[in-house]
Amino acid sequence: MAEKKLKIALVGLGPIGTLHIDNLTGGKVKNAELVAVCDMRKVDNPKIASLPFYEKLEDMLANCDADAVVAATPSFTHFNLAKTCLEAGKHVLVEKPISLCSFDAKRLGEIAKRAGKTCAVMLNQRTTPIYKRIKNLVSSGEIGKVNRVSWNMSNWYRPQIYFDMSSWRGLWKGEAGGVLINQAIHNIDAFAWIFGLPQSLRAWCKFGKYHNIEVEDEVSAFMQYPDDMTATFITSSGEHPGTNRFEISAEKAYLVAENGKLSISKFKGATLREFTLNTLYAFGTPETEESVEEFDGKGGQHAEVMENFADSILNGKKCDFDSAEGALSLTLANAMLLSGIENRDVCFPFDDEAYAKALAEKQANSRLRENVRKDFILDFNKSFR
């Protein structure tokens, strides 16, 4: 007997939508099949030529027998699109970010619960082997208490034409944020997944420092956690070549993740604190066992997330990427933005409504771009880090 497959309708046939088409029609998602597509404009793609095509979401929801909808549309459409699909009785998998603010992300979770449907987010970086390994080392307690974390993710470079080729990128009205909400949201998600939310943070955001845009293109954030752990997170879309270096200082080990490698220095015989307090050597340092772990590939990425989404619906398996998980990274990114906008410390639990109000004020004075450039050259594969 053939395994039952989740019937998926795809909304949005741009670059990321095309990636989903390739995964679904190429057999990379074993428990799902593509049954319909929707976009404002029809695209010439032989892989979907035989599928029903809809220009309007309402027509697709009324006439398509899909179990679930995958949303691969611009960020500012995510909330209303997901809400409409959930209320129409469909499960939903939304591209990141789940919405423009954490207040709406939590609302989607409530709507999904009332509808008895699953609302998930494309948190594909959680499938990256090196991040999975770090998550395990921290969560298992193998490296002991974490004292300090530093992540410099400054290799999200984007030129001006990246923003100018669309009506919505780099604008409060469109993306409701820049490098935090679009590019580095995946890194922020991995960070929040591994360490959770802080007790408080202070972020310095530079708005339009490198580009002719309204939103942030450079951020330096400092975070404090209840257990005395401190952390810094730095990101930029205006530096080149930039770097991606993730350091974790813990009681039993020191980790450095960079260039696809994880360097681990494990302290021998005692924790770092025990050595610090008890050694008689004034310039002594702990003896360490050194190892370097290398990781090939980036894991299952989008296909793995979609397979888990389908499995949760078909077989009742836990959805590892549900709306609550999506709200986690958005909450952290929103807190950084609020700190930068209002030039103050932000404490947790986060005031979602305060940020929603601040965002609404920004959006009230923002307009979508009218003169969109058409002379761009697009190579979507170069967008990934």
* The pLDDT value given to residue 65: 95
* The pLDDT value given to residue 378: 80
Segment-wise mean pLDDT, segments of 10 residues, the chain, 385 residues? 87 95 97 97 93 97 97 94 98 95 96 98 96 98 98 97 95 95 95 98 98 98 97 98 97 96 96 97 97 92 98 97 96 98 97 95 95 86 66
Q: What is the dihedral of CA 266, 271, 274, 275, to 10 degrees?
A: 0
* Other beta carbons within 10 Å of 255: 22
User: What b/e string do you get for 130-151 counting C-beta neighbours within 10 Å, with b at 16 or more?
Assistant: bbbbbeebbeeeebbebbebeb
Q: Please report the domains of the chain, with CATH numbers, ordered by start residue.
A: 6-125+300-321 (3.40.50.720), 126-298+329-364 (3.30.360.10)
Q: What is the DSSP letter of 117?
A: -
Using alpha carbons, select from 321, 349, 354 the residue that is nearest to residue 337.
Answer: 354
What is the Cβ-side half-sphere exposure of residue 56, based on CA atoms within 13 angstroms? 4
* The pLDDT value given to residue 379: 77
Supply the pTM of this predicted model.
Answer: 0.93
The identity of residue 167, as a single letter, is S
